[in-house]
């Protein structure tokens, strides 16, 4: 929840001045709802995708304060983040609502970025894989083999978000590998290789290259470091 509309436009103008598309690297900016149209307009002549940070699973109804996927498609939105840890913690997001939102996004042609991750308490109890595995299985329930390559999975250890702490590259790799293995157990190994798995948790220019060098980390879900165009660009170029 950063930047007003004017600030978002300034960011977009600055970013497109310094950004040079790289082969094999996809870039998207996921912003608050009010800034989406401005970003879409400012970046329309680039290959930068635009995503929302949440959506509702119903088309319309008595859901005051919510935004439907249909409203996002009207703006031509490419991606939507679903089940971010902050949504789960502060807005009562559950694996069941995450699943409904993933299905709705796919139905509308919006590519979901489905988040998963464990708290420090769960990790210290040695239950992180059980927890994350359940999030993956419940979140993807009913998603077909044809649809799953359209879903991005973002692993975000909750204990490394906004704290300045970062999972080691090996910790991140181990969990992302576990996520891919879990997807393979639901579908098949060949299909799991097609799924993009991101790491998100205090990703910044100083650690991006090492994290992104891991074999099962296909990209980054960037938080605070994405607010400064030059920092965001360094992370993009680290891949």
Residues identified as active-site: 84, 156
**Helix orientation angle between 169-186 and 205-212, rounded to the nearest 10 degrees:** 50
3-class secondary structure per residue, the chain:
CCCCHHHHHHHHHHHHHHCCCCCCCCCEEEECHHHHHHHHHHCCCCCCEEEECCCECCCCCCCCCCCEHHHHHHCCCCEEEECCHHHHHHCCCCHHHHHHHHHHHHHHCCEEEEEECCCHHHHHCCCHHHHHHHHHHHHCCCCCCCCHHHCEEEECCHHHCCCCCCCCHHHHHHHHHHHHHHHHHHCCHHHHCCCEEEECCCCCHHHHHHHHCCCCCCEECCCHHHHCHHHHHHHHHHC
Q: How far apart are CA 54 and CA 112, in angstroms?
A: 10
Find tokens 């470091």 and name the residue. Answer: 225
Taking every pair of C-alpha atoms in the chain, what is the biggest distance, in angstroms? 49
């Amino acid at each position: 929840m950063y930047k007003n509309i004017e600030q978002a436009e300034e960011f977009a103008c600055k970013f497109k001045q310094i950004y040079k598309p790289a082969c094999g690297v996809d870039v998207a900016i996921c912003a608050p709802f009010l800034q989406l149209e401005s970003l879409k307009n400012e970046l329309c002549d680039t290959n930068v995708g635009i995503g929302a940070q949440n959506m509702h699973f119903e088309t319309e109804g008595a859901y005051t304060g919510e935004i439907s996927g249909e409203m996002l498609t009207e703006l031509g939105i490419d991606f939507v983040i679903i089940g971010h840890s902050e949504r789960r913690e502060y807005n009562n997001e559950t694996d069941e609502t995450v699943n409904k939102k993933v299905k709705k996004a796919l139905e509308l042609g919006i590519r979901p970025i489905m988040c998963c991750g464990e708290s420090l308490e769960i990790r210290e109890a040695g239950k992180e894989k059980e927890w994350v595995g359940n999030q993956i299985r419940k979140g993807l329930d009913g998603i077909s083999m044809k649809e799953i390559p359209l879903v991005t999975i973002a692993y975000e250890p909750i204990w490394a978000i906004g704290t300045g702490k970062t999972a080691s590259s090996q910790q991140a790799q181990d969990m992302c590998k576990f996520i891919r293995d879990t997807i393979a157990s639901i579908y098949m190994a060949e299909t799991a290789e097609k799924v993009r798995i991101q790491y998100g948790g205090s990703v910044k220019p100083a650690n991006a290259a090492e994290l992104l060098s891991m074999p099962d980390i296909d990209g980054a879900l960037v938080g605070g470091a994405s607010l400064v165009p030059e920092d965001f660009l360094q992370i993009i170029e680290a891949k």
